[in-house]
């Protein structure tokens, strides 16, 4: 439930910028710049490469950014319960046992990541384990295991790769137009092309993230349904209500919300950049499920 998507998008954007600098240094733009077709193929190769490099880095980046500690051997009853719960859920959906980790934060959070569903990472925060009931925590872990079983990170990586392709392609088209029209460069690719294409790639990359976030919100509903099927619908709903109550406790009054770090609400433009749907929407969707077993 922690936004692993934001981490993935940030890593992807950084990787794409590094690749773009490398492309410029080695003069690859000039090599493939003869036709739109060759540029599109070039953009596809590097766009997909950037996306899958980001995915390959996702586990190590998640561990480093959260300080997650992988449980090699349980040190206490809570860790043993967490390992056994994840093991049962992984067996139930037919995936390999993920690495199980705990990261130290009072916030109620969890995440799953990895490029291979049989070698994923699932992590829970200390705040989640300390403040949620076992039933609620079980539902949260079932939600994360469902992300893994559904192949959500790979799906979003493919979507990001396609978007990277168009970001690279159109940023270079824009760079070429500006280089010719503004900087009056008629031979090869000048500094105007490089600067403009880099700026355009950054801006288009941010806009492309709106599409990734949209698909991320859809996948959250699927993971909720998977969590309900694994742990029970009422447990999944209770877990979301617990998250809702925690969020409400952390919120500022309406008259001060605009000055808080959260910016006050998730409506309008801000909603487009959210990786998760509103908790009310998720609870309502679960309540309408007939397939989930209410354990």
Query: Pairing state of beta strands 99-103 and 121-125?
Result: parallel
Q: 72: which 2 tokens?
A: 């090699």
User: Which residues does 221 contact at the CB level (< 8 Å), separation at least 6?
Assistant: 277, 282, 285
For residue 198, count CB atoms less than 10 angstroms from its CB and return exposed for 0-12, middle for 13-18, buried for 19 or more: middle
CA distance 65 to 120: 17
CA-CA distances (angstroms) from residue 167 to 152, 161, 194, 204? 22, 10, 14, 6
For 57, which DSSP code? T
- Hunting for tokens 């980046």 — which residue is that? 61
Residue 144 annotated among the catalytic residues of the structure: yes
Question: ∠ CA(49), CA(55), CA(58), 5° rounding?
Answer: 145
Which one from 136, 138, 144, 225 is the annotated catalytic residue? 144
β-bridge pairing 110-113 and 99-103: unpaired
Q: What are the residue numbers of the active site?
A: 144
């Amino acid at each position: 439930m922690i936004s692993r998507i934001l981490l993935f998008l940030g890593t992807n954007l950084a990787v794409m910028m590094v690749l773009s600098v490398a492309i410029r240094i080695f003069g690859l733009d000039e090599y493939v710049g003869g036709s739109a077709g060759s540029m599109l193929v070039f953009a596809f190769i590097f766009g997909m490469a950037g996306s899958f490099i980001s995915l390959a880095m996702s586990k190590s980046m998640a561990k480093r950014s959260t300080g997650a500690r992988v449980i090699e051997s349980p040190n206490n009853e809570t860790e043993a319960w967490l390992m056994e719960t994840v093991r049962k859920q992984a067996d139930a959906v037919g995936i390999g046992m993920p690495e199980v980790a705990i990261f130290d934060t009072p916030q109620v959070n969890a995440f799953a990541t990895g490029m291979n569903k049989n070698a994923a990472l699932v992590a829970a925060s200390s705040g989640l384990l300390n403040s949620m009931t076992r039933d609620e925590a079980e539902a949260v872990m079932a939600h994360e295991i469902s992300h893994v079983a559904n192949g959500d990170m790979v799906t979003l990586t493919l979507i990001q790769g396609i978007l990277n392709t168009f970001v690279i392609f159109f940023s270079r088209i824009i760079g070429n137009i500006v280089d010719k029209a503004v900087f009056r460069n008629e031979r090869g690719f000048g500094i105007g092309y490089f600067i403009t294409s880099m700026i355009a790639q950054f801006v288009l990359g941010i806009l492309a993230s709106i599409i990734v976030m949209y698909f991320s919100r859809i996948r959250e509903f699927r993971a909720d349904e998977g969590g309900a099927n694994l742990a029970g619908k009422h447990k999944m709903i209770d877990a979301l209500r617990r998250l809702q109550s925690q969020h409400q406790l952390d919120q500022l009054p309406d008259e001060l919300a605009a000055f808080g770090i959260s910016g006050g609400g998730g409506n309008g433009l801000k909603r487009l950049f959210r990786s998760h749907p509103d908790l009310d929407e998720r609870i309502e969707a679960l309540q309408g499920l007939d397939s989930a077993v209410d354990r």
